[in-house]
A and B are shown apart, each in its own frame.
Chain A
Amino acid sequence: MTRWVMVADLRRCVGCQTCTAACKHTNATPPEVQWRRVLDMEVGEYPQVHRAFVPVGCMHCADPPCMHVCPSTATRQRPDGIVTIDYDLCIGCAYCAVACPYQARYKTDEPTFAYGAPMPSESERFDPRRIGVATKCTFCSDRIDAGLEKGLKPGVDPEATPACVNSCIAKALHFGDIEDPASNVSGLLAENQFFRMHEELGTEPGFYYLWDRKP
């Protein structure tokens, strides 16, 4: 079986937000909707101050609470672990949004554009099916599927890899199959210490954060 996951190396992320921009460009999300965000966390007091840049978004949990609560079955999970939303089924009740512990879901009730009136690019890429329904990161599943059909390897071949991973200037973001012991992500997790966000909630997120090498 395949289980697609993302790995973020917190030691490498510089908070440039290129992944955020790449995601917005690829998925044509409206203003204030960021399927891939990078948090800028500052902790401590001078001179003991630490700063961390933390990419967040849908964690594509193995046990996704958003899917369990969805009354319309719009939220589903593919066999490869990717959590999807069927825009034609979703009723926009936002139950999934309050069930998600990662604030990964958005609902836009009316069309919004960067400068009020839509620019030509926004008009062309506007998807009315996304109005009034829940939206979130898809792990660029369309790119993965198209790439696999061409015999490419997601996480290795850029054409089959999520846009945020491709765009990362510091090689902080990685994507791959955690079930494959020889994959890039399996290698990173074997060599480094990692955690998953809010692991105590039992959602088994498919997003791993590296924080130090293994001793």
Chain B
Amino acid sequence: MTYGPKPWVQRHWDVRAATNFILGGTGSGLLVATALAAQAAPSWRPFVALGLALIALGLGAVWLEIGRKLRALHVFFNPFTSWMTRESFAALVLFALGATALALGQPWTAQALGLAALAFVFCQGRILRASKGIPAWRTAGITPLIMATGLAEGSGLYLIASAGGGAALGPLILFVLALVARALAWRGYRAKLGAGRPLSTLEPSAKWLMNAGTVTPLALLLLARFVLPQLFPAGAVLAGILALTAGWYFKFTLVTRAAFNQGFALPRLPVRGSR
């Protein structure tokens, strides 16, 4: 039994920080999808540019949140233990590879960039995992959930931007696998988080994530592929939109609404008169 004031939602990270997780995840997922398409679809460079732009916008949003903006480069000082520093180094590598890919146009550069994007979104998951004061973030299943969400959003955006995936099959397969992985990751995370206010706050957006963001897109794709081929590519684009927006809504809720702190708790009450 513990006693204490109820936890409340943290106010240190707001929509600006959420934007970094939203756009960073989507941009990373788009770069991974592009890496899978690079061999079959020669005109992949605009997708790389879009992915890099999304990640840059996310990092720009979080830069607006820091108190000492001119000291932003200090973020690189602690690679030994800080996942925020590691995310910054991953971003450096990612933008260097992105510039190389845009300049050279070789498929292998896009594939290397895809790996860097995976590292970047992994760091984002670990940033939340290391936030020990926020139960909804520190839960063990958060990293796979953040990674799967980013991949689902990014591959969904690829389907939208390429009007159904184009000639490449890779992004479409990634989209389906990422949707399934996201659903499984949510179930695992939900079980580890346990009942409480963070979970009850997340539930509405999670329902969207599962119904509108997972089941509906998968049904649309199956329908367009096996039953009504005339639905393609519009069905795939709609599936991408649903997966993307449901993921954004979920992550916005996770960072800004479900981020209850630990609160205070006394495992024992004082026994007065004993001293």
Asked whether A and B interact, the reply is yes
**A107 CA / B268 CA spacing, docked (Å):** 31
Q: Known contacts A52-B3, A65-B130, A71-B74: does B274 contact A98 (CB below 8 Å)?
A: no
Q: Are A211 and B84 in contact (CB under 8 A)?
A: no
**A99 CA / B130 CA spacing, docked (Å):** 7
A26 nearest CB across to chain B (Å) = 24
Stretch at the interface among B93-101, B184-192, B240-248, B256-264: B256-264
Chain A hits for B4, CB < 8 A: 39, 41, 54
**A72 CA / B267 CA spacing, docked (Å):** 35
Stretch at the interface among A87-95, A114-122, A161-169: A87-95
Q: Are B12 and A97 in contact (CB under 8 A)?
A: yes
The answer, yes or no, to whether B216 is at the interface (CB within 8 Å) is no
Checking B74, B76, B88, B259 against A98 with a beta-carbon cut-off of 8 angstroms, the contacting residue is B259
Q: Are A211 and B275 in contact (CB under 8 A)?
A: no
Chain A hits for B82, CB < 8 A: 68-71, 95
Stretch at the interface among B30-38, B131-139, B173-181: B131-139
Q: Are B265 and A198 in contact (CB under 8 A)?
A: yes
Q: Known contacts A41-B5, A65-B132, A100-B132: does B12 contact A72 (CB below 8 Å)?
A: no
A77 nearest CB across to chain B (Å) = 12
Q: Are A212 and B67 in contact (CB under 8 A)?
A: no
Q: Known contacts A65-B132, A65-B133, A97-B12: does B88 contact A71 (CB below 8 Å)?
A: yes
Find the residue from A12, A93, A107 having the highest chain B CB count within 10 A.
Answer: A93
Q: Looking at chain B, what size class is its interface with the partner chain?
A: 35 or more
Nearest opposing residue in chain B for A88, CB measure: B71
**A41 CA / B2 CA spacing, docked (Å):** 11
The answer, yes or no, to whether A25 is at the interface (CB within 8 Å) is no
Question: Residue-by-residue, is B81-108 near A (CB-CB < 8 Å gives 1, otherwise 0)?
Answer: 1111100100000000000000000000
**A195 CA / B13 CA spacing, docked (Å):** 31
How many A residues touch B, CB cutoff 8 Å?
Answer: 51
Q: Known contacts A11-B274, A99-B131: does B10 contact A132 (CB below 8 Å)?
A: no
Q: Known contacts A10-B270, A109-B67: does B265 contact A68 (CB below 8 Å)?
A: no
Q: Are B133 and A100 in contact (CB under 8 A)?
A: yes
A209 nearest CB across to chain B (Å) = 7
**A98 CA / B130 CA spacing, docked (Å):** 9
Nearest opposing residue in chain B for A188, CB measure: B275
**A162 CA / B71 CA spacing, docked (Å):** 31
The answer, yes or no, to whether B43 is at the interface (CB within 8 Å) is no
Q: Known contacts A97-B12, A99-B131, A109-B67: does B266 contact A54 (CB below 8 Å)?
A: yes
Q: Are B84 and A95 in contact (CB under 8 A)?
A: yes
Q: Are A73 and B78 in contact (CB under 8 A)?
A: yes
Chain A hits for B67, CB < 8 A: 90-94, 107, 109, 131-133
Chain A hits for B131, CB < 8 A: 69, 95, 98-99
The answer, yes or no, to whether A197 is at the interface (CB within 8 Å) is yes
Q: Known contacts A133-B67, A211-B271: does B12 contact A69 (CB below 8 Å)?
A: no
Q: Are B262 and A52 in contact (CB under 8 A)?
A: no
A143 nearest CB across to chain B (Å) = 27
Question: Residue-by-residue, is A101-116 near B (CB-CB < 8 Å gives 1, otherwise 0)?
Answer: 1110001010000000
Residue positions of B touching A, CB distance < 8 A: 3-5, 10, 12-13, 62, 65-68, 71-72, 74-78, 81-85, 88, 127, 130-134, 137, 259, 261-262, 264-275
- Counting from the closest, the 9 A-B pairs by CB-CB distance are A92-B67, A132-B67, A10-B270, A72-B74, A94-B12, A212-B271, A71-B84, A65-B132, A101-B262
A-B contact pairs, 7 of them (CB 8 A): A41-B266, A68-B82, A71-B84, A98-B261, A101-B132, A131-B67, A211-B266
Q: A98-B134, A99-B133 are in contact. List 17 more A-B contacts (CB 8 A).
A: A11-B275, A41-B264, A72-B78, A89-B74, A89-B77, A90-B68, A91-B67, A91-B75, A92-B68, A98-B12, A101-B132, A102-B264, A195-B267, A197-B265, A209-B268, A211-B269, A213-B275
